[in-house]
Chain A
Amino acid sequence: MAKVAMTVNGKAVALELEDRTLLVDALRDALGLTGTHVGCDSTQCGCCTVHLDGRSVKSCSMLAPQADGRAILTIEGLAGIEGPGSGDALHPVQQAFTECHALQCGFCTPGMIMAAAGLLAENPAPTEEEIVHALEGNLCRCTGYVNIVSAVQRAAELMRG
């Protein structure tokens, strides 16, 4: 068993887990944060994308003990981190996904949003090509991606204010 102490969505958590526990399983099963989805078993779909110390990672491709001492942000913690205080306000990427009808079934959406937020944190004004490149590791079966790409552009606009 491994002891894992990390910050998840701004709160310190301490868990005792089997060594082999994947980060995504720790988030979903031990912490009940089921907004992070599992869409594959070969690290290719991106449904499980979260932020690790501010960078987007696939939480199915690392072990929970590797997150010891690190800060994790999941879709549940995204709202309200932009702008002061209000936990109700959607994050600009969430807002843009809503405005642009960038989700249908929604299963890929948490991962898409975390990947997009990760991109915009590094590159506030990405070109369409850069957006497409950044979403290379995130699969969506419903939307044809058209509105997802528009939503990322819109989110960039919202974040620039």
Chain B
Amino acid sequence: MRKPVWPPLARERVHFVGQPVAAVIAESAAAAADAAELVQIEYRDLAPVTTLADALREGAPQLHAEAPGNLAFDFESGDAAAAEAAFAKAAHVSRLTLRSQRLVGNPMEPRACAASHDAGTAIYTIYTPTQGVNGMRGALSALTNVPRERLRIVAQDVGGSFGIRSPAYPEHAVVMAAAKRLGRPVKWVGTRSEVFLGDNQGRALELTGELALDATGRILALRWDHVANLGAYATPFGAWVGTRNLTVTMGGVYRIPVLYGRARCVYTNTAPVSAYRGAGRPDIAFAIERLIEYAAAEHGLDPIEFRRRNFVPAEAMPYKTANGTVYDSGDFAAVMDDALARAGHAGFAARRAEAAARGKLRGIGVAAYLEAAGAGAAPKDQVRGRFGADGFLTVWTLTQSGGQGHETTFAEIVASGLGVPIERVRIRASDPEADLVGSGVGGSRSLAGCGSACRVLADRIVEQARPFAAEALEAAPEDLEYARGAFTIKGTGRAIGLFALAERLAGPTPHPLDALGEGTFGATFPNGCHVAEVEIDPDTGATRIVRYTAVDDIGTVVSPALARGQVHGGVVQGAGQVFGEQAIYAPDSGQLLTASFADYPMPRAGIIERFDVHPHPVPTGTNVLGAKGVGESGCSGSLPALANAVLDALRPLGIATLDLPFTPARLWEAIAAARGRALSRRAHAPQV
């Protein structure tokens, strides 16, 4: 991969609007802002490239000498020759280009960091919102060349992360350098404008799919050609999004004998792109389910039956896809039937007719999605349980919650594993002193990875405590049984509670019952079927999401309320992308035109009028909990379900595809153009 250096402060060339160029350190933020006004920089304008088409054009301006043609990466997965042969014998072929437009992640808490440097030990202490201290340590060490051992990262409450709080940023390095130089703590708190301009952005993908069908509507092959806009520099996750995450589940829930994907990653004069809620997986789910719906319409197939005919059947699990991914479990047909029934799919025609009578365009959209989750970067997941003098069991983890609720979910897992009240267990993330191995938050894996380690921890603690309990009860360890938080001598009433035992053993550190829970847990494949129903006002182009049904196989559910909350949030984030959000750079100046909440429409309260969420668990065997993950599935389901619903509403007008986002202006124009075409057709119709 061709990967140019990304300096914390721009040198010689500024590669994107928003790249830091100078730093002012002052006693107050207001004073620093005043001083920043005095910084004068003379820029010489160079021609920018902001879009994929511009960047790949012959003779396009080159961003980096290391990357001729602005190309960082040309990647392929699957069998190109087999795909060619399958397409040659296909009865039907459908081809569709889809764009998953560039987004700004916009956690409500802007990015921030505070650093101090201890001259004696040469250790930096850095407070910053992150998705896990281990990942941040590695990323910061790579950015600054400061060895990991000298980086102490502290993260507490994180105000939303969504993928873009996992990398290290230039500001971290600048604040660290300033703290060292000045010998004083230095803090930087970003503004929303800095979030828009300087945070890594998301999506920015163009996906072209081709589907080969036989005469009976069976899928013979699926071929993809992706182009990913990396922005000005390669973030640690940018190319991962544009390659691996787009191809690992490129066949979705379908049994497709031949798969092939090509992906090119391209540099442009825009903010660098990184993982953002789903990181390529919602994008490919969106593309597959749009292509399925498009192909069904093109070849006169019922889209539901078309899906059903091509699903990987439950009996085929575990199923190895043509490009080598193994889906461990899933019952896609049952999940779809569940969703269709709950969404009242059968009664839709009447609702469409009723809406038409009111002059509204009503559409229904179905999406059967699947995504890869669970695989972490670290070789295993560890958590450490420590018994404190205060009578609590504190469990240290590496996953930094940004609102997912690890504090209660993991406590529940440990407490129910031990049979003790949840109030006795405290979850703490990111002990700077703990030398734990494991991944941070990402890939919807915290429950499958860290949660499973918590389950293992409970068993470890019981086993570790058994000989001590035996000693306390003056019995043989094998004569003890453990239940409801206590060891009892079998057949007697003599017992000692776990915490009573811990209190007896208190004194030495580590406490004799302190234990490590660990394991290596495999990839999971959350899937589901979402059904969206929309109503478009053709006079204004405004869309109402009148009904939304999400049925998700997220495996075993530990905390139903939290899981539902994740689906709500993910689906609405997808709705934001479908109906309004987009980061637009001016092609001639490289300026971000949508750089505030005034120009970048975030989803607001009430965006979905009726919202039903139902789990349909098919537990996985790849981790001890059976959990598949739920953090990102909402986006993977809602992008295609909502887009399919809108296009279903527009299909009677002859509109087969349209680029996101479906803003009122875009829909109004498309509707007006389609009606104009219809009118002019009528005007030219021969008189009879």
Contact = CB atoms under 8 A, between A and B. Distances in A.
Interface in B544-580: 561-562, 564-565, 568-573
Nearest to A131: B605
Given A42-B192, A139-B597, A104 B569 contact: yes
Contact of A138 (B160, B568, B605): B605
B224 interface: no
Contacts of B596: 40-42, 44
Interface in B576-616: 596-598, 602-608, 611
B324 interface: no
Interface string A107-144: 11000000000000000000011011001101111111
B640 interface: no
A141 B573 contact: yes
Contact of B611 (A103, A104, A146): A146
B605 A132 contact: yes
Contact of B606 (A40, A101, A108, A145): A145
B522 interface: no
Contact of A45 (B157, B192, B564, B568): B192
The secondary-structure label for the interface of chain A is loop
A25 to B, nearest CB: 8
Given A39-B108, A139-B604, A147 B565 contact: yes
A73 interface: no
Contact of A132 (B107, B569, B606): B606
Nearest to A104: B403
A149 interface: yes
| Size range of the chain A interface in the assembly | 35 or more
B158 A105 contact: yes
B114 to A, nearest CB: 14
B404 interface: yes
Contact of B597 (A18, A20, A37, A40): A40
B162 interface: yes
A10 interface: no
Nearest to B401: A105
B250 to A, nearest CB: 28
The secondary-structure label for the interface of chain B is loop
Contacts of A20: 30
A142 B193 CA distance: 20
Given A101-B561, A138-B605, A143 B568 contact: yes
A75 interface: no
Interface in A4-43: 18, 20, 37-42
B108 A139 contact: yes
Given A20-B30, A37-B109, A142 B604 contact: no
B606 A104 contact: no
B607 A145 contact: yes
A142 B605 contact: no
B156 to A, nearest CB: 11
A139 B607 CA distance: 12
A47 interface: yes
A42 B568 contact: no
A106 interface: yes
A78 interface: no
A105 B597 contact: no
Contact of A105 (B160, B561, B562, B611): B160
A144 B159 contact: no
A44 B108 CA distance: 11
Contacts, number: 125
A148 interface: yes
A144 B604 contact: no
Given A41-B192, A42-B598, A107 B604 contact: no
Contacts of A101: 561-562, 564-565
A143 B216 CA distance: 43
A2 to B, nearest CB: 14
Contact of B403 (A44, A106, A129): A106
A144 B608 contact: yes
Given A136-B605, A145-B606, A149-B605, A105 B108 contact: yes
B349 to A, nearest CB: 28
A95 B611 CA distance: 23
B619 interface: no
A146 B570 CA distance: 12
Most A CB contacts (10 A, CB to CB) among B161, B565, B605, B607 go to: B605
Given A41-B191, A139-B602, A107 B108 contact: yes
Interface string B509-546: 00000000000000000000000000000000000000
Contacts of B598: 42, 44
Contacts of A132: 604-606
B30 A145 contact: no
Contacts of A136: 604-605
B106 A141 contact: yes
Interface string B143-163: 000000000000001111110
Nearest to B110: A39
A47 to B, nearest CB: 6
Nearest to B189: A38
B159 A107 contact: yes
A108 B403 CA distance: 11
A38 B108 CA distance: 9
A105 B403 contact: yes
B18 interface: no
B193 A144 contact: no
Nearest to A112: B605
B405 interface: yes
A43 to B, nearest CB: 9
Contacts of B562: 101
Contacts of A142: 108, 160, 403, 565, 569
B209 interface: no
Given A41-B191, A107-B109, A144-B570, 6 more contacts: A37-B109, A42-B192, A45-B108, A104-B160, A139-B602, A140-B108
29 contacts: A39-B192, A40-B191, A45-B108, A101-B561, A104-B404, A104-B565, A105-B109, A105-B158, A105-B161, A106-B159, A106-B403, A107-B108, A129-B606, A131-B606, A136-B605, A138-B605, A139-B597, A139-B602, A140-B605, A141-B108, A141-B573, A141-B602, A142-B403, A142-B569, A143-B569, A144-B565, A144-B568, A145-B572, A148-B605
Interface of B: 30, 106-110, 157-162, 191-193, 402-405, 561-562, 564-565, 568-573, 596-598, 602-608, 611, 634
Q: Which 5 pairs, one residue from A and one from B, show the smallest C-beta to C-beta distance?
A: A105-B403, A104-B403, A132-B606, A144-B572, A107-B159
